[in-house]
Chain A
Amino acid sequence: MDFIAPLIFVILAAIVVAGGLAVVLLPRITGSALSMGLSFLGMAGLFALLGAETIAFFQVLIYVGAITVLILYGVMLTGVAPAGADRRLFFQKQAGWALVPLKFVGVVATVFALSFQSNVVQQPGGDLEPLANAVFRDYAFPFEVASVLLLAAMIGAIALVKRGDD
């Protein structure tokens, strides 16, 4: 049974990273949006593998079900640019120069992270109850503040896109 978890991990990690790369590299914006949804799904799988099932399903509910659809909605409302329209500055000079140290740091960070050897500890019984206790007891006030933030974002979004005449 010892090879199953690493195998699942490798598959999910491949989905997440490939999805992320596709978001950046695909010329068509709808392709980017869909691969972002795929990456989010893989990430939900990784959460479930870590034993955080509740977080995993919230991930699916919020990221795949709401954010990806919202972004697709935005894509359709702003009109789909013809394929390749994004090419002109696809690897623009300044960004290229900025990317060199960024890639270096990224590779170093990834290699460094791989050297962590301790295994993940699993608690029995799922993460629903500890999570609920933490959010609604210890972190009740931040939770309420977060809800105010959401309300503010909703009102802000409506105010930004509302036309003057209706």
Chain B
Amino acid sequence: MLSVPLGWFIAVSSALFFIGAAGVLVRRNAVVILMCVELMLNAANLALVAFSRRLSDATPRGSVFVIFTFVIAAAEVAVGLAIVLAAYRNQPTVEVDEIHELKG
């Protein structure tokens, strides 16, 4: 019924995942790194939903997994931002390579 091949969805997913991974490596701003991690989680979600629709079980296992990913993502952002804020309070910067108090 739907004429878009599964591979296209997986291709978008993998492209977005690698964009996110590259972002984590090249950006120094802690908040941007958090965003890139979110992008990677989202890419994984797309792959899960696409494969779940392909398998077409009675129980959409992939979609259930995506619900759990939402929970993980929300928890991750909350804790991640709290860590960034705590670090910012300690030393007013969000650049990850300038937070080196323990480096001695």
Contact = CB atoms under 8 A, between A and B. Distances in A.
- A interface bracket (residues with beta carbon within 8 Å of B): 35 or more
A103 B94 CA distance: 27
Chain A interface, >50% SS class: helix
A56 to B, nearest CB: 9
Contacts of B21: 102, 106
Contacts of A123: 56
B99 interface: no
Interface of B: 1-23, 25-29, 31-32, 34-36, 38-39, 42, 45-46, 49-50, 52-54, 56, 58-61, 63-64, 66-68, 70-79, 81-86, 88-89, 92, 94-95, 97
Interface of A: 2, 5-6, 9, 13, 16-17, 20-21, 23-24, 29, 32-33, 36, 39-40, 43, 46-47, 49-52, 54-55, 58-59, 62-63, 66-67, 70-71, 73-75, 77-79, 81, 85-86, 89-92, 95-96, 98-99, 102-103, 105-106, 109-111, 113-123, 127, 130-131, 133-135, 138-139, 142-143, 146-147, 149-150, 152-154, 156-158, 160-161
